[in-house]
Structure 1
Amino acid sequence: MYEQKIKENDAKVEAFIETVENPKKRADAYRLLEIFTETTGYQAKMWGDSMIGFGSYHYKYKSGHEGDAMLVGFSPRKAKFSLYFATGDTERENLLERFGKHKTGKACVYINKLDDVDEEVLKELITQSVQFLQKTYPAQ
């Protein structure tokens, strides 16, 4: 049976942010913490060792695979910040056009620093992602 690797846990978010060596990156992480908390209304939780998540949802695929995941979140990685938004949401691409300097992966949006992006568009991305996931995976 599949064991989910990244799970919500009781580690302290602020203690994790304090381990970020670069002072500017640490300050950006605290600002992201504020933005995500205010925008979602959810308390930040650690997911795995290095992901800060907000809210959660339960998914179940047609294959039978199921689990729990954060609605949105971020991680202050050494090279860049990873921002976690819903995949499969067509509105995400429209918002990213106005977001600022970033790169995208399959599931992540990567930014170097908060100054590179529009915070208002970030809030729209967070809100859109939460709404999309809650609509796609309604609470049971």
Structure 2
Amino acid sequence: MSATEVEEFLAGVTPEVRRRDAQTLLDLMRRATGEEPALQHPGIVAFGQYHYEYASGRSGDAAAAGFAPRRTASVVYLSDGTDAHADALSRLGPHTTGVGCLYLKNLDDIDLAVLEDVVRRSYATLTSGTFGRRAREGSEG
């Protein structure tokens, strides 16, 4: 999908704070990854790709960075796991995490330089070769 489709999708995001934050994340992820966005379903803005292959033999390709503007929070996907970024995330500002997701309610309240660094490092980790673990397996591996 084209950048125009991404822009059209983001124009329809509600509430307003989520639409504003989505535009900020779009620009931030472009800088951090050097990639152009692509719209994936359901409503995920993705940047680049990485290949994974787990010990189980399962393998495939996935977005190397991305975000989704959801009604209650913007979700930033960190497929190498949020634990890998715990030190930086402690300096980010108000957020919550899942195994591979960072939930942000308002980008005005966080340190965008820290977020950009986290996205840059996650992207670099994922695209440095075949990634061999799941986010829920922690930072070892």
State the TM-score, normalized to the length of structure 2: 0.84
Q: How does 1:46-85 map to 2 (within 5 A)?
A: 46-85=39-78
The higher-RCO structure (CA 8 Å, 6+ apart) is: 2
C-alpha contact 1:89 1:132 (8 A) present in aligned 2: no
Counterpart in 2 of 1:124? 117
Corresponding residue of 1:86:
79
Distance in 2 (CA, whole Å) between partners of 1:55 and 1:62 is 23
* Residue 97 (structure 1) shift: 0.6
Tell me if the contact between 2:82 and 2:98 (Cα under 8 Å) persists in the aligned partners: no
In 2, Cα distance between the equivalents of 1:21 and 1:110? 16
**RMSD over equivalenced CA pairs, Å:** 1.7
Is the aligned partner of 1:134 residue 2:127?
Answer: yes
Unaligned runs of 5+ in 1: 1-9
Q: 2:28 aligns with which of 35, 38, 50?
A: 35
Unpaired runs of 5+ residues, structure 2, are: 132-141
The answer for the alignment partner of 2:135 in structure 1 is none
Task: Give the counterpart letter for 1:60 in structure 2.
Answer: E
- Which of 11, 20, 31 in structure 2 is aligned with 1:18? 11
Aligned position for 1:3: none
Name the aligned partner's letter for residue 101 of structure 1. P
- Partners of 1:26 and 1:88 in 2: CA distance: 25
Supply the distance in 2 between the matched residues of 1:107 and 1:38 (Cα, whole angstroms): 21
Identity of aligned residues (%): 34
Tell me the residue number matched to 1:7: none
Out of 77-86 and 22-31, give the one that drifted further.
22-31
Number of residue pairs aligned between Structure 1 and Structure 2: 129
Classify the secondary structure of the residue corresponding to 1:28: helix
Matched, 1:44 2:37: yes
Q: 1:99-110, aligned counterparts within 5 Å?
A: 99-110=92-103
Confirm or deny: 8 A CA contact 2:81 2:100 kept in the other structure: no
**Cα distance in structure 1, aligned partners of 2:129 and 2:87:** 19
